[in-house]
Amino acid sequence: MTPAKTSGKEKKARLDFGLLPNLVGYHLRMAQIAIFRDFAQGPGRHEVTPGLFGVLVIIEANPDLKQSDLARATHLDRSTVVTVIDNLERRGLVERRAALNDRRSNAIRLTAEGAALLRKLKREVNQHEKRLLQNFSDAERGQFFELLQKVFPEHR
Amino acid sequence: MTPAKTSGKEKKARLDFGLLPNLVGYHLRMAQIAIFRDFAQGPGRHEVTPGLFGVLVIIEANPDLKQSDLARATHLDRSTVVTVIDNLERRGLVERRAALNDRRSNAIRLTAEGAALLRKLKREVNQHEKRLLQNFSDAERGQFFELLQKVFPEHR
């Protein structure tokens, strides 16, 4: 064995991953972990996860959104949504008002500060997406979109 | 608006997801969430996450594995690996022995109980993978594998 073969990279390559490389679920999870890590170094520097970015986008796109609708859109349970919105409110990024036609429920909106942060985040998410897709041709990009949406479409 | 249009499904369809549907990172996250949910209802009933299943497979495939190698293989930091192994040891699924050539480091192995659970898990993961890929042709399955591995291959 030559010294070059004892580098960390080579040691890793010699580990046996068993059946994992045959599982699409494994490759998807590995892709997801790598994406999360890249996101953390870009948009994530503003203390925003991919999930929280999605929440902000949906709030912006649906002014006076109800918490129950947000829960449905994000696949979060209602108590988690309440915690998430509490947090965003504390950070001054969203505000709750009593809904016009239903005083029991709240309407959520971005504040000016929330809208400004979201503009910044969108630019960084755009760059993150470009890094994510840097090894893809245009055709492959389209295929990837289609195939990802074939995974449990009934759960969306 | 007819009564049929006010179903939960229709309400959800009317929400605006903004730029999210244009982001491959969003679709990958949605696929991952759906996969995690399906896993939880199958192999996950044995109190095992996809990540923990991967750990068990790697331990089985590499008898007397070192914790540092397991950390590298799973992209977990070393202290997390220690916690994970502590947990598996408490459940009687793995055992640590002093490594033959390095008394400071531990060699990890599955116990008979761990091996038996893993056999069961593999059957259930197989069924989970079939559900995951139920909408895929053979060609699409192959494409999906290839494309997933184009996502940040440098981070693997």
pLDDT of residue A6: 44
pLDDT the model gives residue A103: 64
The whole-model pTM stands at 0.87
Tokens of B45: 């009933």
Tell me the two tokens of residue A34.
């790598």
Token digits for B115? 């091996």
Cα separation of A7 and A4, whole Å? Answer: 6
- In CATH terms, A24-148 corresponds, of 3.30.300.30, 1.10.10.10, 3.40.50.10540, 3.90.1170.50, to 1.10.10.10
Residues 120-139 (A) with a CB less than 8 A from some CB of B? 122, 125, 128-129, 131-133, 135-136
Question: What would the pLDDT profile of A94-133 be if each residue is shown by its tens digit?
Answer: 999 887 676 667 899 999 999 999 999 999 999 999 999 9
Amino acid in the structure at residue B47: E
Give the amino acid at B26. Answer: Y
Q: Identify the CATH class of B21-150.
A: mainly alpha
- Among A130, A145, A20, A138, smallest CA distance to B144 is for A145
Q: In angstroms, what separates the C-alpha of B91 from chain A's closest C-alpha?
A: 22
Residues B102-129 pLDDT 10s: 666 789 999 999 999 999 999 999 999 9
Burial bucket for residue A81 (CB in 10 Å: 0-12, 13-18, 19+): buried
Who among A26, A30, A150 is closest to B135 (CB)? A150
Yes or no: say if B62 and B144 are a contact pair by the CB < 8 Å rule: no
Nearest residue in chain B measured CA to CA from A145? B24
Name the residue among A24, A122, A129 with its Cβ closest to that of B133.
A24
Predicted confidence at residue B75, as pLDDT, reads 84
Residue B11 touches partner A, C-beta closer than 8 Å: yes
Averaged pLDDT, A66-89: 92
